[in-house]
Amino acid sequence: MSGSEDESNDDTCSEVCENPARCEGFGMQPCLVLSSGILAVASDVPNLACTTGAFDCSLHAGWQYRFAARLFAEHASRSFGQPMLVENRAGAGGAIATEFVAKSAADGYTLGFLTTGQLAILPHMQKLGFDPLKDVIAVTPLSVTPFLLAVSPNLPVANVREFIDYAKARPSKLNYGAGGVGSVGHFAGAMFNARSGIEVLFLSYKGAAQATAALSVDEIQMYFASYTDLVPLGRAGRVKLLGIATEARHPQLPELQAIAEVLPGFVSSTWNGLVAPAGTPSAIIERLIADCRAMIADREIAARLQTLGATPGCRTSAEFSRQVAAEHAGFRDAAKAAGIKPE
């Protein structure tokens, strides 16, 4: 397992499809694959293929990723003038859905909606049947969601500095958790340990629900996870929010300290983005990027993403590819430093 801090789910096509019957076999209908599933789009637009793909929302597909995927599906359906359908292909940290996209025909009928985990982390955790840097094209990100630092509500600390001092006084006596070995939360905690000079031990959990439950009962004392995983729990008093892993304070949580105020440069986040099989024509790639830009330019859609703590933003395929390659290398080095090897 690896790649994301999300909940497992049993969603089916019918949950989001305008016409569930179209999901059977997909035929030649365009499709989008999310890390949690596959999104299919039927399109008769000349010279426009919306690949029949998998939209991979990862092994424990979180509802926030499915929500972002559905926003794109809704927008694309209007843009293409045809319904976009979704089928889930969860499992193996998103490897199943990602491989489906990688091995699909590059004919404009298959796309993937992935997160940082599938392209930048997963290759260092599992032996894969595809190369994420060669077998798929990074089309564009749609949004970036920061990670937050939460601690057990029982700890007598009120901010990041107090927690660091508390942990330094108790080396190897505190634990932190994440939704699996090699998840973004795992690496964020390891990076926080290294940057702050503390020694908090790692415990792996099946997913975000298990990890947050462990935090609320003091089984673990530190946890990094996404905005949507932690903010509701923090507001309910079930966990204590200390900081956000961004360079500056987040507009949705201005009262929450940026960890970079204490540890300059400390940033941890995950993106949601589109990919396509290698060899997909550039005209299709450019058309998809244009459609994504139009989507996030819609104030209502941008506002809906921002309620999840996400910052909407698209890039060119070349820029996104360089970003993915840099993240891939960074997580490779982090995995090596942590002694993590592909299984």
- Whole-number pLDDT of residue 180: 80
* CATH code for the domain defined by 13-145+269-337: 3.40.190.150
- Cα torsion 171, 172, 174, 176 to 10°: value is 120
Q: What is the 3-state secondary structure (H, E, C) of 56-123?
A: EECCCCCHHHHHHHHHHHHHHHHHHCCCEEEECCCCHHHHHHHHHHHCCCCCCCCEEEEEHHHHHHHH
Mean pLDDT of the chain: 79
Exposure on the CB side of residue 230, measured as CA atoms within 13 A? 30
Give the three-class secondary structure for 212: helix
pLDDT band at 86 (very low <50, low <70, confident <90, very high): low
- Given a cut of 80, whether residue 158 has pLDDT beyond it is yes
Residues contacting residue 286 through CB under 8 Å, at least 6 positions apart = none
Closest CA to 215 of 197, 198, 196, 234: 234
Q: What is the pLDDT of residues 113-133, one digit of tens each?
A: 888 888 998 888 888 889 989
**Structurally, what CATH architecture does the domain formed by 146-261 represent?**
3-Layer(aba) Sandwich (3.40)
Q: What's the predicted TM-score (pTM) here?
A: 0.76
The domains spanning 13-145+269-337 and 146-261 adopt the same CATH topology: yes
Give the Cα separation of 7 and 132 in Å (integer): 23
* Mean pLDDT for the stretch of residues 97-112: 84
Q: What is the pLDDT of residues 165-197, one digit of tens each?
A: 999 999 999 999 998 888 888 989 998 998 999
pLDDT band at 10 (very low <50, low <70, confident <90, very high): very low
* 97 against 77, higher pLDDT: 97
The domain spans of the chain are: 13-145+269-337, 146-261
Q: What is the pLDDT of residues 221-247, one digit of tens each?
A: 999 998 888 999 999 999 999 999 998
- Whole-number pLDDT of residue 322: 94
